[in-house]
Amino acid sequence: MTETIRNADVLIIGGGLSGTMLAVQLLRLPGQRRILVIEPRAELGRGEAYSAVELGHTLNGNAARMSVDPDNADDLTEWLTDYIGAGGWPESAEQPVPVSELFPPRGLFGVYAQQRLAEAKALSASTVEHVRGEVVDLQVSADSTLLTLDNGQQLRGARAVLATGMFPAARTPQTESSGLNAAAVDPWDVQAMTQIDAQAPVLIIGSGLTMVDAVVSLEQAGHRGPIEIFSRHGLLPHARRQPPSWEDFLAADHSLRSPLQLLREVRRQCRLALAQGIDWQAPLDTVRAHIGRLWSQASEREKRQFVRHVRPWWESHHHRSPPLSAQLVARLREEGRLRIRAASFKGLEPGGEGVTIRLRARGEQVIRQVSGAALINSSGIEYDWRRVARPLPRQLLERGLIQPGPLALGIAADASGAVLDAEGNVSQRLFAMGPPLRGMWWESTAVTDVAIQAKALAAKLTQF
């Protein structure tokens, strides 16, 4: 007997932070709507990023920067103050700084998001229900969207939103697999790392924030051996500090448009700051508010120039490491236990004990082999949906319901989040938000970016 198709006004595909924030914003709007959030995990509000259970895996921004409420920048600070006051997170007492400057554990941030959802549900005439499962197919008709889940269940909604979050390279099957993930240890699996010989060398591919998490995981697992890190440019994330405010120089000068112009002016501003004894991070932090505008108005050629020539330095300077994690990485480097080298991963060498990888050092043509007891894939996020071997991205591409975003970063959409199909038509039924719109706005993953998108998209969805 065929199960009855369930109906809703809005179907949110993904119940991590993006989907949860959208649900909160929909609940806060007048009217009565039925919202179904489809998420395979047992809880909403966590997703990949905030399912972490280790206290050492913290946000890479302090509380003052991480509010889920676009209308109240102090929302997380206020929640955290109450939470700590009630006896929660006692370890915070070890950091003698104001609550606004604390870097909470990511798992605790998930609790915060969940509580804000519960509060919005209690005050709303609309309803939100968690449907546990993975969406494996999506069809769009003239008057609705139809989802099929991995258990065969079907859901119909007037509108559907792709709030799928990020696809971490370490946990995402690839359409063209190098075999790296099959041989690698999960960067966040501390328990698995306790099985590694504590004195044996560990190899890490990638040197961004996932690498920082992996080093924290190794330390908590009791690993005390050498750590060899390999990335194309050999750059480490800078430590996040709390610099004083700086004049928003881009707000005053909209003539700065190209990546080269921006780079020159940012460097000039940083030199001015240093000459005054002010941290260079102060002027750099003012750029954040303008990234969406700068990226969207850039030509295809300028975007490619940025990705090819500027991106590695932007990532290491802007996506900075939490202070305690950065201190750990710095200490291990000083002790000689952690080394970073600029080299490209060229594959795995089969056979033998442990793991052996092939590498080509930057500036060289010779491919060399390096061996270790274990390997960790910390190569970051997979944004190219054509490379993601999961049912929904593949079906959407095959059906022509989506097309790759600029530079194959996420998927294409208009400014409101309405998805563009393979022929460039703007959908009236299918929308996207958060990391899938990386190619649209460049910075479309941070909490504040997603919070703003969630509010705007909720308003759009209720206009129909």
Give me the residue spans of the domains in the chain. 6-57+105-167+383-461, 171-238+320-377, 249-316
Report helix angle 75-85 to 106-123, nearest 10: 100
**Structure tokens given for 280:** 């260079």
Distances (CA, A) of 314 to 132, 223, 285, 319: 37, 31, 11, 8
CB of 414 closer than 8 Å to CB of 398: no
Q: Is the torsion defined by CA of 13, 19, 24, 26 positive or negative? A: negative
Cα 223 from Cα 202, distance rounded (Å): 9
pLDDT given for residue 53 in this prediction: 84
CB of 27 closer than 8 Å to CB of 124: yes
pLDDT given for residue 163 in this prediction: 98
Distances (CA, A) of 70 to 21, 48, 51, 66, 456: 10, 22, 23, 10, 10
The residue whose two tokens read 């328990």 is 191
| Residue 416 identity (one-letter amino acid) | S
Strands 127-131 and 135-140, how do they pair? Answer: unpaired
- The conformation of residue 4, written as its DSSP 8-state character, comes to P
CB-side neighbour CA atoms (13 Å) of 188:
20
Do the two domains 6-57+105-167+383-461 and 171-238+320-377 of this chain adopt the same fold?
Answer: yes
pLDDT given for residue 3 in this prediction: 66
CB-side neighbour CA atoms (13 Å) of 51:
13
Cα 33 from Cα 21, distance rounded (Å): 16
**Structure tokens given for 425:** 């038509």
In the three-class reduction of DSSP (H, G, I as helix; E, B as strand; rest coil), residue 338 is classed as: strand
DSSP string, 46-104: -TTTT----TTSB-SS-GGG--S-TT-TTHHHHHHHHHHHTT--GGGGGS-S-GGG---
What topology does CATH give the domain 6-57+105-167+383-461?
FAD/NAD(P)-binding domain (3.50.50)
Per-residue pLDDT tens over the stretch 53-67: 888 999 999 999 999
pLDDT given for residue 1 in this prediction: 36
Cα 406 from Cα 415, distance rounded (Å): 13
pLDDT given for residue 199 in this prediction: 97
- The conformation of residue 13, written as its DSSP 8-state character, comes to E
Cα 322 from Cα 337, distance rounded (Å): 20
Cα 404 from Cα 386, distance rounded (Å): 8
Cα 50 from Cα 130, distance rounded (Å): 17
Per-residue pLDDT tens over the stretch 354-395: 999 999 999 999 999 999 999 999 999 999 999 999 999 999
- Positions of the chain with pLDDT lower than 50, given as ranges: 1
Domain 171-238+320-377 has CATH 3.30.300.30: no
What are the strands, taking DSSP E only, across 62-178? 127-131, 135-140, 145-149, 154-162
